[in-house]
């Protein structure tokens, strides 16, 4: 199963602090979580201007502790599979993000350091930007008006993936 995701985070060159994660599954299911543990005072001007104003009020159920976020995200990515249960590599989730290096770190750090990431989850994120370039840089629609909302960006990643695969397949014919 492919999962298209995006994260919003605060980073200072040393630390990446997850704000939110949005994930869209290939089957249409969606997940959106906001960490109630991030420190908004550490956000730089860009995050204050583009990310924080889009977050729903703290009373919204999307706000949760990192622990709860981690548990719900795992259950979303591997429905019906308890943590620690062996799963063949072919049945593991496939993660996709646009320029996803920082996204993968923010994702993985929900479990602490890399050694804490459950073995059922991938150690890397597939790169949508590279797929798009390899497909000949097909025309993409304009970014959504709510860009930098993690779920909106995850939904847009699905669009980027589909257009890129169509263009790649057309080039192969």
CATH of the domain at 7: 3.30.420.10
Is residue 114's pLDDT more than 90?
no
Across residues 27-43, what is the average pLDDT?
A: 97
Residue 93 has what pLDDT? 95
Cα 135 to Cα 26, 138, 155, 166: the distances in Å are 20, 7, 20, 8
Cα 56 to Cα 10, 31, 125, 126, 146: the distances in Å are 17, 15, 27, 29, 13
Give the pTM. 0.94
Burial 138-155 (b: 16+ CB within 10 A, else e): eeeeeeeeeebbbbbbbb
Is residue 165's pLDDT more than 80?
yes
6 has binding-site annotation: yes
Total of domains in the chain: 1
Residue ranges making up the domain that contains 149 = 2-172
What Rg, from alpha-carbon coordinates, does the chain have?
16
């Amino acid at each position: 199963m492919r999962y298209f995701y995006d994260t919003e985070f605060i980073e200072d060159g040393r630390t990446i602090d997850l704000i939110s994660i949005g994930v869209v599954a290939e089957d249409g299911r969606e997940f959106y979580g906001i960490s109630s543990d991030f420190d908004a005072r550490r956000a730089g001007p860009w995050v204050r201007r583009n990310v924080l104003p889009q977050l729903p009020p703290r009373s919204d159920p999307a706000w949760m502790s990192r622990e709860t976020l981690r548990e719900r995200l795992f259950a979303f990515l591997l429905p019906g599979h308890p943590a620690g249960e062996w799963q063949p590599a072919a049945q593991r989730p496939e993660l996709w993000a646009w320029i996803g290096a920082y996204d993968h770190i923010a994702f993985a750090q929900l479990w602490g350091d890399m050694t804490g990431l459950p073995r059922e989850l991938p150690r890397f994120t597939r790169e949508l930007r590279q797929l798009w370039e390899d497909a000949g840089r097909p025309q993409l629609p304009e970014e959504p008006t709510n860009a930098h909302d993690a779920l909106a960006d995850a939904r847009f990643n699905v669009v980027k993936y589909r257009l890129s695969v169509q263009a790649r397949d057309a080039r192969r014919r």
